[in-house]
Amino acid sequence: DIQMTQSPSSLSASVGDRVTITCRASQGISYYLAWFQQKPGKAPKSLIYAASNLQSGVPSKFSGSGSGTDFTLTITSLQPEDFATYYCQQYNTYPFTFGQGTRLEI
Amino acid sequence: QVQLVQSGAEVKKPGASVKVSCKASGYTFSSYGITWVRQAPGQGLEWMGWISAYNGDTNYAQKFQGRVTMTTDTSTSTAYMELRSLRSDDTAVYYCARAPSDWGQGTLVTVSS
């Protein structure tokens, strides 16, 4: 199985900050990488697909980049509603594994 | 709009089976696959498998091979996930998704004696 490793596992930031979360795949996955946001008690919400494509309705403060094995999710101008847990997921090879998550805290 | 509505919470004893349903609406059911993901309490997301609603093809995570069966009923636009030989560490919220953008609300399955 392809292992997805996110860093950091947790991150403290302030309203208005810009943050970057990294996701590394144990082998190349081209651009088949998605990012999700999850809030407590809620289903995950899709933010980014194909490494850098914004899901419909997602604000442009979220952006993704990378290909191969190294990917990043950047969030600018943090607002209170952005504090959540973020997951990456590869969908290049079955099983479509998730990273362990990054908890973004105020 | 696309909606995936899952069945309600379940409490099962170890060794039992559970079958979670996921009723889809707002799109042509047979044109997309359904993915099942679970999340144990306080833990991350775990991909369980995928089923094509077009022809029933499946792909299961090795971890669940032999214990899970995913099916669909195109007449009711409903997907099902059955997990057998339940253990306490199967306690989790189970999600169906029309990946990546549309998710069900989740079904809590508690396995306890």
Q: Residue for token digits 């696959």? A: B33
Q: Chain B residue with minimal CA distance to A100?
A: B44
* Residue A89 Cα distances to A31, A76, A93, B9, B85, angstroms: 11, 21, 11, 26, 28
Beta bridge partners of A34: A89
The span from the CA of B25 to the CA of B98, in Å, is: 11
State the average pLDDT over residues B62-91. 97
Q: What is the pLDDT of residues A52-61, one digit of tens each?
A: 999 999 999 9
pLDDT tops 90 at residue B100:
no
Beta bridge partners of A7: A22
pLDDT tops 90 at residue B6:
yes
A-to-B residue pairs, Cβ atoms closer than 8 angstroms: 51
Q: Is B2 helix (H, G, I), strand (E, B) or coil?
A: coil
The span from the CA of B49 to the CA of B62, in Å, is: 9
Q: Chain B residue with minimal CA distance to A103?
A: B44
The span from the CA of A30 to the CA of A68, in Å, is: 4
State the average pLDDT over residues B78-92. 98
The span from the CA of B112 to the CA of A4, in Å, is: 31
Identify which of B35, B47, B59 has the shortest CB distance to residue A97. Answer: B47
Instruction: Report the gap between the CA of B45 and the closest CA in chain A (Å).
Output: 6
Q: Is B62 helix (H, G, I), strand (E, B) or coil?
A: helix
The pLDDT of residue A96 is 96
Confidence of residue A75 (pLDDT cuts 50, 70, 90): very high
